[in-house]
Chain A
Amino acid sequence: MLQAFGHLPFEWILFAVLAVAGFIAFYAGRMALAAAPVTGGEMGRLHSQPNYHGFFVVMCTIIPAALVFLGYWLIGDNFVRDQLAGELPARIVEGGQLQLSQYIDRLSDYATRRETILTGDALFDAASNRFAQLTGQVRLMTVFLALVVAGGGFHFGRRRINREFRARTFVERGINFLLFLCAAIAIFTTIGVVLSLVFETIRFFTIEGGPTVTGFLFGTDWNAQTGANFGMLPLFFGTLMIAMLAMCVAAPIGLFSAIYLSEYASPRVRTWVKPLLELLAGIPTVVYGFFAATIIAPLVRSGAQWVNALPLVPDNFLAAQPTSALAAGLVMGVMIVPFVSSLSDDVINAVPQTLRDGALAMGATKSETIKQIVMPAALPGVIAALLLAVSRAIGETMIVVMAAGGRALITPDPTSDLTTVTYQIVALLTGDTEFDSAKTISAFALGFVLFGVTLVFNLIALRVVQKYREKYD
Chain B
Amino acid sequence: MTDAQPPKSTSPFGSEAAIARLKDRHAAERRFKLYGQLAIGIALSALFVLAYSIISNAAPAFTKHEIVFHLTLDAETVAPNGVEDTQATASNISGFYSLIQDDLRETFPEAATERQLRRELYALVTRLAVLDIARETAETPALIGTTKRFTAPLSDDLDLYLKGGITARRTLTVGQAGRLSVLESGLYSLSDSGPDGFPEFKAKIETDTAADSSVLIRLQDAWFRLEAHSGAMLTLTHLAGALPQLGEQQSAEISALVLFVAQANRAVSDRQIAWAILLQEKGRIRRKQNFDLLTKADSTYPELAGAAAAIVGSIFTMLITAFFAIPVGILAAVYLEEFAPKNRLTNMIEVNINNLAAVPSIIFGLLGAAVFLNFFGMPRSVPLVGGLVLGLLVLPTVIIASRAALKSVPPSIRTAALGLGASKTQAVFHHTLPLAAPGIMTGAIIAMARALGETAPLLLIGMVAFVNEVPTGPDQESTALPVLIYKWFSGAERAWEPMTSAVIVILLVFLILMNLVAVLVRRRFERRW
Interface residues of A (CB under 8 A from B): 77, 168, 172, 175-176, 178-180, 182-187, 189-190, 192-193, 196-197, 199-200, 252-257, 259-261, 263-264, 273, 276-277, 279-280, 282-291, 293-295, 334, 337-338, 341, 365-368, 370-371, 388, 391-392, 394-398, 401-402, 422, 425-426, 429-431, 433, 435, 443-444, 447, 450-451, 454-455, 458-459, 461-462
Q: Does B377 contact A (CB under 8 A)?
A: yes
B482 and chain A: residue at smallest CB distance: A286
Contact yes or no, A187 B486, CB < 8 A: no
Question: What A residues does B334 contact at CB under 8 A?
Answer: 179
Q: Does B471 contact A (CB under 8 A)?
A: no
Question: What B residues does A196 contact at CB under 8 A?
Answer: 366-367, 370-371, 375
- Knowing A282-B515, A365-B26, the reply to whether A293 touches B363 (Cβ < 8 A) is no
Q: Does B53 contact A (CB under 8 A)?
A: yes
Q: Kindly identify which residue among A253, A284, A425 contacts B482, using a CB–CB cutoff of 8 Å.
A: A284
Contact yes or no, B456 A193, CB < 8 A: no
B461 to chain A, nearest CB (A): 9
Report how far A424 CA is from B195 CA in the complex, Å: 67
Q: Does B183 contact A (CB under 8 A)?
A: no
Question: What B residues does A277 contact at CB under 8 A?
Answer: 40, 43-44, 47
Question: What B residues does A444 contact at CB under 8 A?
Answer: 366, 370
Contact yes or no, A252 B39, CB < 8 A: yes
Report how far A276 CA is from B525 CA in the complex, Å: 23
Contact yes or no, B511 A282, CB < 8 A: yes
Q: List 28 A-B contacts (CB under 8 A).
A: A178-B331, A183-B332, A183-B399, A186-B399, A193-B367, A196-B367, A253-B39, A259-B36, A261-B40, A273-B44, A283-B50, A286-B483, A287-B54, A287-B485, A289-B486, A289-B489, A290-B500, A338-B43, A341-B43, A365-B26, A367-B28, A371-B32, A398-B486, A426-B362, A426-B456, A429-B369, A455-B355, A461-B358
| B interface bracket (residues with beta carbon within 8 Å of A) | 35 or more
B38 and chain A: residue at smallest CB distance: A256
Q: Kindly identify which residue among B33, B367, B377, B462 contacts A189, using a CB–CB cutoff of 8 Å.
A: B367
Contact yes or no, B335 A182, CB < 8 A: yes
Contact yes or no, A168 B423, CB < 8 A: yes
Q: Kindly identify which residue among B37, B43, B335, B361 contacts A183, using a CB–CB cutoff of 8 Å.
A: B335
**CB-CB nearest 8 A-B residue pairs:** A395-B360, A260-B36, A284-B453, A256-B39, A196-B370, A179-B335, A367-B32, A397-B456
Contact yes or no, A425 B32, CB < 8 A: no
- Knowing A179-B332, A282-B449, A367-B29, the reply to whether A425 touches B486 (Cβ < 8 A) is no
Contact yes or no, B367 A365, CB < 8 A: no
Q: Does B46 contact A (CB under 8 A)?
A: yes
Interface residues of B (CB under 8 A from A): 25-26, 28-29, 31-33, 35-40, 42-44, 46-47, 49-50, 53-54, 57, 327-329, 331-332, 334-336, 339-340, 346, 348-349, 351-356, 358-367, 369-371, 374-375, 377, 392, 395-396, 399, 423-425, 449-450, 452-456, 459-460, 462, 464, 482-483, 485-486, 489, 497, 500-501, 504, 507-508, 511, 515
B424 and chain A: residue at smallest CB distance: A172
B455 and chain A: residue at smallest CB distance: A286
- Knowing A179-B334, A283-B453, the reply to whether A189 touches B25 (Cβ < 8 A) is no
- Knowing A260-B40, A367-B28, A426-B460, the reply to whether A398 touches B455 (Cβ < 8 A) is yes
Question: What A residues does B339 contact at CB under 8 A?
Answer: 176, 179-180
B111 to chain A, nearest CB (A): 36
- Knowing A397-B360, A422-B362, the reply to whether A183 touches B460 (Cβ < 8 A) is no
Report how far A394 CA is from B360 CA in the complex, Å: 8
Report how far A447 CA is from B40 CA in the complex, Å: 35
Contact yes or no, A462 B355, CB < 8 A: yes
Report how far A289 CA is from B500 CA in the complex, Å: 12
Report how far A186 CA is from B335 CA in the complex, Å: 13
B447 to chain A, nearest CB (A): 12
A428 and chain B: residue at smallest CB distance: B460
Question: What A residues does B38 contact at CB under 8 A?
Answer: 256
Question: What B residues does A461 contact at CB under 8 A?
Answer: 358
Contact yes or no, A365 B28, CB < 8 A: yes
Contact yes or no, B356 A189, CB < 8 A: yes
Report how far A397 CA is from B449 CA in the complex, Å: 18
Q: Kindly identify which residue among B26, B43, B360, B377 contacts A253, using a CB–CB cutoff of 8 Å.
A: B43
Q: Kindly identify which residue among B29, B43, B450, B459 contacts A429, using a CB–CB cutoff of 8 Å.
A: B459
Report how far A178 CA is from B327 CA in the complex, Å: 11
B396 and chain A: residue at smallest CB distance: A186
Between A187, A189, A276, A450, the greatest number of chain B beta carbons within 10 A of the residue's beta carbon is seen for: A189
Question: What B residues does A450 contact at CB under 8 A?
Answer: 360, 362-363
Contact yes or no, A397 B349, CB < 8 A: no
Contact yes or no, B29 A176, CB < 8 A: no
Question: What B residues does A252 contact at CB under 8 A?
Answer: 39
Question: What A residues does B353 contact at CB under 8 A?
Answer: 186
A387 and chain B: residue at smallest CB distance: B358
B54 to chain A, nearest CB (A): 7
Question: What A residues does B459 contact at CB under 8 A?
Answer: 426, 429-430
Question: What B residues does A183 contact at CB under 8 A?
Answer: 331-332, 335-336, 340, 346, 349, 399
Contact yes or no, B332 A182, CB < 8 A: yes
Between B31, B36, B339, B511, the greatest number of chain A beta carbons within 10 A of the residue's beta carbon is seen for: B36
